[in-house]
Amino acid sequence: MTTVETNAAASYQRFMPAEHPVQYLAPDGTGVESAARYARTSDDRLLEMYRAMVHGRRFDQQATALTKQGRLAVYPSARGQEACQIAAALCLGEQDWMFPTYRDSMALAARGVDQVELLGMLAGYWHCGYDPKQYHVAPQCTPLATQLLHATGFAYAEAKQGRDTIALAFCGDGATSEGDFHEALNFAAVFRAPVIFLVQNNGFAISVPLARQSAAPSLAHKGVGYGIGSEQVDGNDPIAMMSVMDEAVNYVRAGRGPVVVEAHTYRMDAHTNADDATRYRKAGEVEGWLARDPLSRLDSYLDARGVLTDDLREQMTTSADADAAALRAGMNVEQSVDPEDLFRFVYSTPTPALLEQREQIAAEIAAGELS
């Protein structure tokens, strides 16, 4: 092999993900030997993560119940993906921004977004129930992969203005089949945009299994072709998730370019309340993943280390139940909707057609034709 070939191979290898997903905890919560180079996070941070996961799961359960009660039009549960979302949210600085999908509500809750505001979009009250600038969280995106372009452009602009800001872009495995995914990665790599692409690979793009989406060794390998440092991690291992995400944040903040992190995980529930997952998932598949539940996994680990006591566990559960009660009460208050909101925030300077439509709606309301 020539010197040029050797250098090219070395350069290529530095972008490569681990052969197997990074893992520090076995499914039963006991530690495993790992050759991964990532620094393990402290017990204090893991306890903070556990608290956020307890609250996140209780929020998810309550949102699912609200959907069945007709308070939400739809809700995409993320039960089973707590470690992915919450580790990512907790690793960011206050100045950083998140660009979430419709399924990343637990990450938003961990970021501090008001839970009633968080569900405003799914209740049909408003395009986005919270103020993105207040929380540094962009509106949740329903179209696949569009938020990746938003995150990349935002991160690039922040860097151009000399700001110490990272953009964290969430997506699922299905989004990696979209053109926007590849365009975002290519632009981010070429212009070294400070963005982390977190791919939550839960095995299905609605009903399409991963094997029908990609033949790559892993989805993390898709970053390698664009010259992006990439990694794959056990997304149901809270310690591994925190360790890998901490390193990703440090790498990007140091100006070394973007990162792709693939988190191998699983959604325990259907795609949404409108989906019947039994039509495409094998019997017993969910039970197999329940044995790898991230919350139980971290509970066992912290309990064995004497960090998580029964009293502390009860306090967290009680606090999460109180938040759920407040969410129920908040969602049972009817929101007033102003038809004028249909026309606000569309263009900075309204077009003639938009003004004409607004006047038409106003006239129909005044005439009692609409209420």
Among residues 45, 182, 192, 280, which one is catalytic? 280
Query: Of the candidates 81, 78, 67, which has an alpha carbon nearest to the alpha carbon of residue 122?
Result: 67
CA distance 168 to 97: 6
Among residues 103, 136, 150, 271, which one is catalytic? 271
Q: Is 280 a catalytic residue?
A: yes
CA distance 18 to 24: 14
Q: Is 221 a catalytic residue?
A: no
Q: Is 264 a catalytic residue?
A: no
CA distance 43 to 304: 12
Please enumerate, as own/partner, the contacts of 354-362 that have beta carbons within 8 Å and a separation of 24 or more: none
| CB 196 within 8 Å of CB 151 | no
Q: How crowded is residue 349: how many other Cβ atoms within 10 Å of its Cβ?
A: 5
Among residues 57, 111, 136, 267, which one is catalytic? 267
> What are the structure tokens assigned to 342, written together?
């249909």
CA distance 228 to 65: 41
Residues labelled catalytic: 267, 271, 280
